Structure 1
Amino acid sequence: MKFVIVGYGRVGTRTARILQSEGHDLVIVESEREKVERARDEGFTVVHGDGSEESVLQEASIGSADAIGALAGDLNTNFSACMIAKEHGCRTILRIDADYREEIYDKYAADVDEIIYPERLGAAGAKTALLGGDFNVLADLTEQLSIASVQVPEGSPFVGKRVVEVELPGDAHIYAHGRHHEPMTIPLPQTEIEAGDSVAVMAAPEGLDAVRSSLRGEA
């Protein structure tokens, strides 16, 4: 498959590397010279320019791409890129930072194919969305991370906190959340943790015990 990735920051870089390792064709669109050079040094085809401009996306061959991942740190750039790509028949993946509220989500959700919160899902979620897959199917995305489900007890220090506010040891991340006896889904920015909730975390294998202890209030 062929993809256009707008933004070569942390999320764009990791997403591009995953897609490249799986044999997909991709073009990076990046406005910052330093990031352009870094992407080229890593072997990517790069268009230096503003991803919100149609001429730049056309240079990146948006017309023949299967999907666009608008993964820059600026929401306006990302949304503009998606709207241009939509006119060219592309699947559109819009990045929204984790601190945006539900009304922001609702404003853009109808116009794009997928909205992702990279701070919760990282490159795993971006890659899965680009391929049109199930967000729950994450086992194949990396051999360097492990996934675990943890139930949050009443004594946890995270009860009452928003999922996006949770900081875990070893750069671990919560990528899904569910109420007691309910299926887990990708949490919205305002989702608060309650006692008895379950969270799915992504962490380095050697750090899982510390993550579990932290969530349970045992650390």
Structure 2
Amino acid sequence: MRFVIIGAGRVGLRTGRVLREEGHEVTLIERDEAKIRRARNQEFPVVDGDGSRESVLEDAGVANADVLGALTADLNVNFTACMIAKHYGCRTVMRIDEGYREEIYRKYADEVDEVIYPERLGALGAKNALLGGTIRAVADVAPNLQVVEVTVSDAAPVNGYTMDELELPANATILAFGKREADLEIPSADESLEDGDRIVVLADFDVLSDVRQLLVGESPERATVNAGTGGVN
């Protein structure tokens, strides 16, 4: 897949590295000279300019991109870039800081494909949002421990199991459960697992791929790639 990421700061650059390691094409947009040099030293193609300008986005290849990630600290730049990218048929993922009020979040969330909080999600969560996957980071609680929300797929080996029958790896614990479109809550033992249900799991990074295999039904190789490596900083 082809990605255009606006912002070569800590979140943008680390997200770009994770995506590139998985074989995706990544182009960065940045206007800070020091950040541009750092990104180019890591062999990223970088367009020097304002990511909210259509001409700059075109220079970065937005017309041929699959996804645009607006990951700067400037909400106006991020939103404008996403609105432009939508006209090119891109999936749009926009960074927003947690300090914004709920009504502002809802206003922007309705206009883009996904809103992320980098303070909470970091590079792994941003990568999952860009890919539009079925697992997303919620929070890091220790260097190698993360809370993730997983969406059960039709191909999951545990599809049709009850919560009492579900056995996760030793270093993974279920925190909450929600039926499709329903609120998350503490699960009951006889609750059945179905396509579209969501499970919040506290898991060690080492077993995230095992969790994906069980709840999403991915192959071991794909589950390992999608689980990612490292945490939120």
| Aligned-partner Cα distance in 2 for 1:35–1:200 | 35
| TM-score after normalising by structure 1 | 0.66
Aligned to 2:227: none
State the 1:85 CA deviation.
0.4
| Aligned-partner Cα distance in 2 for 1:203–1:75 | 33
Match of 2:186 among 161, 165, 181: 181
| Aligned-partner Cα distance in 1 for 2:71–2:96 | 8
| Aligned-partner Cα distance in 1 for 2:113–2:44 | 25
Equivalent residues in 2 for 1:121-140 (5 A)? Answer: 121-136=121-136
Aligned to 2:42: 42
SS at the partner of 1:133?
A: coil
Aligned to 1:54: 54
| Aligned-partner Cα distance in 2 for 1:113–1:136 | 14
| TM-score after normalising by structure 2 | 0.62
Equivalent residues in 2 for 1:147-158 (5 A)? Answer: 147=146
Q: What do the CA deviations read for 1:69-112 (whole angstroms, capped 9, x no partner)?
A: 00001000000110110011100001001111211111111110
Distance 1:102 1:137, change over 3 A: closer
State the 1:147 CA deviation.
2.7
State the 1:124 CA deviation.
1.3
Number of residue equivalences: 160
| Aligned-partner Cα distance in 2 for 1:64–1:182 | 43
SS at the partner of 2:135?
A: coil
Aligned to 2:164: none
Quick check: 2:28–2:60 contact (8 Å CA) kept in 1?
yes
SS at the partner of 1:105?
A: helix
1:181 aligned partner, one-letter code: I
Consecutive unaligned residues of structure 1, counting only runs of 5 or more, are 139-143, 150-175, 184-198, 206-219
